[in-house]
Amino acid sequence: MSLVSVQNVSFGYSRDRLVLDGVSLEIRSGASVGLVGESGSGKTTLLRLLLGLTRPSAGEIRFDGATLDTRSSRYMRDYRRQVQAVFQDPYSSLDPRQNVLGIVSEPLRSLGIPGDRPALVEAALVSVGLEPDILGRYPHEFSGGQRQRIAIARAIVAKPKLLLADEAVSALDLSTRIRIVELLKQLAADMTLVFVSHDLGVVAALCDEMVILEKGRIVEAGATRKMLADPQHPYTRKLLGSVPRMPA
Amino acid sequence: MQPLLQIQDLNLTVDGKPLVTDLSFSIAAGERLGLIGESGSGKSLTAMAATGLLPRAITATGAVTLGGQQVIGAPERVLNGLRGTVAAFVFQEPLTALDPLLRVAQQVAEPLRRRARRDGHELAGSALQREVLALLEQVALPQPERIARSYPNEISGGQRQRVAIAMALACQPQLLIADEPTTALDVTTQAEILKLLDGLVRERGMALLFISHDLPVVAEIVERVVVMQRGVAVETGPVREVFGAPQHDYTRALVVAAKAFDGALEGTA
């Protein structure tokens, strides 16, 4: 069954210029889906809609069988518990004045989730490959890759069903990037992952399915392996052909 | 023959803290060299040191010779003579490299005028205008008249980078230094800009110092690479040898990571 159903969704800041134009997409529970596109493709807008930060101009998004109702604060509180996000820049996404315990436990506090917070935070840190004894330390003490692990720990601490990642490894160095991709892959085994990226190589390494967006429309979607081996749309072929490869 | 750029035992420090340590390499006329490293490796600082653009707080020792002229400690007047003539820069982010308040034509005209003055004549009016358009055509910009009239915010990222390349070429430098010139661009645009740079460098017989964290990108455009890690050159050699059979652990880790993403694309990983 679909966890997320995007049904004929359009979005525009003005009536005659649509950022997203009639996008439909089904995301199975447990899937890991890459949303791939270049600048202006609408991939970030689609992610904002999935996060409930913006409302579609037309169409509907359904989550777990019910309409994503951004106007209902009660619905959104429950939605936030189910859906969490990781962003691109681990330097701006962590509050420099809060320690790791404060940062990672924030969703537990704001969503009013009961339980032993330090214990939940420690468990989340361990599952992202960090030592549990860093609770009292601050973001500036960590490298970019470690910060991104902290951001991921914050996203999974409330055990969401869906993890949304927006270019979550793009700001990281190559050797760090591959380790964070491995971590996300491991986490995606237990939840649904939507991974927005311009980087086809990363999506190929991480996602079973991918969706190619161009200028607000989906041009091709399907199983990653199949699309890589036999791309149908000329734009998919152009994208694949543009990725620089290592010399043989 | 003396190399175009020679860096010997370069050490860069800030408050005694080492940023670049005992770095040596050289670029001959017409040669294309890649400087590879992750963030904090000192690759961009090295390029700044090559043209005397280092911030004051950074202390440089060793020898940097550009076009036969010692750069470290040279007065600004001498350095200004080298910039443009011997070496020109293309930076990562074309939006910040261009002046947002000037039309493209005005920005490209400035280095052209400067070069003309250097060569001993004045360039102005319609002659200058013609040269601007010719240069925009050389970097394969569509509708050069329209682009010339535009402000940087009115054109795309790829077009802005082409304008920045045109400005660097305006002075007919012997060495083009490109610092992550495609990192901020979309992948399809990146492919176009790499092709353009490759063609221009070959046509004009320019030397190229290409700085990047992206191994496959570097492999497409240079012959030889220097791999830097925390300010130290850990491996140097022809690109095919270094990427094909890396000797240093760090290079090996980078190559393995880059090939893993390649493998995923090929469906072999």
* pLDDT tens readout for residues A160-177: 999 999 999 988 888 889
Question: Exposed, middle or buried, A163 (CB in 10 Å: 0-12/13-18/19+)?
Answer: buried
Cα dihedral B136/B194/A198/A171 (nearest 10): -100
Least CB-CB distance to A244: which of B157, B217, B269? B217
* CB within 8 Å: A175 and B254: yes
pLDDT at A42 > cutoff 60: yes
Domains of chain A: 2-242 (3.40.50.300)
Q: Say if B261 is an interface residue toward chain A (CB within 8 Å).
A: yes
For residues B197 and B190, what is the distance between their CA atoms, to the nearest angstrom? Answer: 10
Q: Say if B241 is an interface residue toward chain A (CB within 8 Å).
A: no
Residue B230 falls inside a structural domain? yes
pLDDT at A113 > cutoff 60: yes
* CB within 8 Å: B244 and A247: yes
Model pLDDT, residue A248: 77
| pTM score | 0.88
* CB within 8 Å: B243 and A245: no
Number of domains in chain B: 1
For residues A198 and B186, what is the distance between their CA atoms, to the nearest angstrom? Answer: 8
Q: Say if A228 is an interface residue toward chain B (CB within 8 Å).
A: yes
DSSP state of A83: E
* CB within 8 Å: A174 and B244: no
For residues B251 and B243, what is the distance between their CA atoms, to the nearest angstrom? Answer: 8
For residues B47 and A39, what is the distance between their CA atoms, to the nearest angstrom? Answer: 29
Which structural domain, as residue segments, surrounds residue B35? 5-96+175-266
pLDDT at A57 > cutoff 70: yes
Residue B146 falls inside a structural domain? no
Q: A178: which chain B residues are within 8 Å (Cβ-Cβ)?
A: 257, 260-261
Least CB-CB distance to A247: which of B157, B188, B240? B240
Residue B210 falls inside a structural domain? yes
Residues with Cβ within 8 Å of residue B249, at least 6 apart in sequence: none
Residue B119 falls inside a structural domain? no
- DSSP bridge partners of A166: A196
Least CB-CB distance to B219: which of A204, A225, A246? A246
- The shortest C-alpha distance from B76 to chain A (Å) reads 35
Q: Are strands A32-36 and A209-214 parallel, antiparallel or unpaired?
A: parallel
Q: Say if A223 is an interface residue toward chain B (CB within 8 Å).
A: no
Residue B126 falls inside a structural domain? no
Domain with residue B58: its CATH number is 3.40.50.300
For residues A188 and A191, what is the distance between their CA atoms, to the nearest angstrom? Answer: 5
B4 alpha carbon, distance to own chain's centre: 14
Residue among B236, B243, B235, B248 nearest B214 (CA): B243
Q: Say if B215 is an interface residue toward chain A (CB within 8 Å).
A: yes
Mean pLDDT on A123-133: 94
Q: Say if B12 is an interface residue toward chain A (CB within 8 Å).
A: no
Query: Which residue did the predictor score with more confidence, B142 or A193?
Result: A193
Model pLDDT, residue B40: 86
Q: B217: which chain A residues are within 8 Å (Cβ-Cβ)?
A: 244
The fraction of chain A above a pLDDT of 90, given in percent, is 90
For residues B91 and B176, what is the distance between their CA atoms, to the nearest angstrom? Answer: 11
Q: Say if A237 is an interface residue toward chain B (CB within 8 Å).
A: no
Residue B21 falls inside a structural domain? yes
Which residue positions in chain B have pLDDT lower than 70? Answer: 268-269
Closest residue in A to B241 (Cα) is A247
Q: B39: which chain A residues are within 8 Å (Cβ-Cβ)?
A: 144, 173
Residue B196 falls inside a structural domain? yes
Residue B170 falls inside a structural domain? no
Count A/B contacts: CB-CB distance under 8 Å: 86
Mean pLDDT of chain A: 94
For residues B114 and B121, what is the distance between their CA atoms, to the nearest angstrom? Answer: 10
Model pLDDT, residue B269: 56
- The shortest C-alpha distance from A169 to chain B (Å) reads 13
Instruction: Scan residues 8-37 of A and list those with Cβ closer than 8 Å to B.
Output: none
Mean pLDDT on A219-231: 96
Q: A241: which chain B residues are within 8 Å (Cβ-Cβ)?
A: 191
ipTM over 0.90: no
Instruction: Scan residues 102-161 of A and list those with Cβ closer than 8 Å to B.
Output: 144
